[in-house]
């Protein structure tokens, strides 16, 4: 059995996790009645929590504590839809609860299924991990989450572009209305997804020693930037 091994990269990931969760909770608590801010806070928490899975895997903690298997900390079908809804909310006057539910439904189902897996007995979870069919099914779900996220990235960018055209047409002062930072977030999420695909074509050691430490550092900056930008952004509809 491998020993638990914490690295500098784990520490950077941990800083990103703590920072993202803190900023996300702050956004949600500080603006309880502001639905857009609630959605941005949820996005930050969901995005940051995925770092915990990486920390546990890289440190071999799951090998030592199999009860940690299938923690509901990966939100492949929830992260980008949350950001899409945030952008929609700060630019549109009305969005129905039905529309919000439909957009978030795949992510909610994903969370509930993972929660059920997490609550299974440890022996059952270990058995599932060694089950090739079950493992293949999880891989397929993760693979399909990529085009799903890209779909919402594109919807977010297109929505911002339409919004910007209206702003340029009706306002002489466009400061704070063009959502340039939100568009950059969408592009970053798209680029970040492609960078993870590159992992497949890299040697494990090269990825662990060079590529991933860079991605971790970028993550910390990215999470902080989103939190600050969200705090400064007011509703513009």
Model confidence over 116-175: pLDDT tens digits? 999 999 999 989 888 899 989 988 898 889 889 999 999 999 999 988 888 777 765 555
Predicted confidence (pLDDT) per residue in 56-99, tens digit: 888 888 888 888 899 999 899 999 999 999 999 888 767 888 98
Contact 92, 60 (CB under 8 A): no
Q: For tokens 């702003």, what's the residue?
A: 167
- For 23, 36, 62, 93, the CA distances from 86, given in Å and listed in that order, are 16, 5, 34, 12
């Amino acid at each position: 059995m491998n020993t638990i091994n914490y690295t500098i990269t784990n520490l950077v990931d941990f800083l990103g996790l703590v920072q993202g969760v803190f900023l996300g909770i702050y956004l949600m608590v500080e603006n309880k009645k502001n639905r857009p801010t609630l959605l941005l806070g949820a996005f930050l928490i969901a995005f940051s929590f995925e770092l915990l899975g990486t920390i546990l895997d890289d440190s071999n903690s799951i090998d030592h504590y199999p009860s940690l298997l299938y923690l509901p900390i990966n939100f492949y079908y929830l992260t980008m839809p949350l950001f899409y809804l945030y952008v929609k909310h700060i630019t549109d006057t009305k969005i129905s609860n039905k529309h919000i539910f439909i957009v978030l439904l795949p992510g909610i189902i994903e969370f509930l299924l993972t929660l059920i897996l997490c609550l299974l007995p440890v022996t059952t979870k270990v058995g599932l991990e060694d089950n090739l069919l079950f493992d293949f099914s999880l891989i397929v779900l993760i693979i399909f989450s990529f085009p799903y996220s890209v779909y919402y990235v594109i919807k977010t960018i297109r929505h911002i572009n339409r919004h910007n055209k209206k702003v340029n047409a009706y306002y002489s002062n466009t400061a704070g209305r063009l959502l340039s930072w939100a568009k950059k977030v969408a592009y970053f999420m798209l680029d970040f997804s492609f960078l993870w695909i590159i992992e497949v074509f890299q040697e494990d050691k090269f990825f662990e020693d060079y590529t991933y430490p860079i991605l971790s550092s970028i993550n910390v900056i990215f999470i902080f930037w989103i939190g600050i930008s969200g705090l400064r952004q007011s509703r513009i509809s």
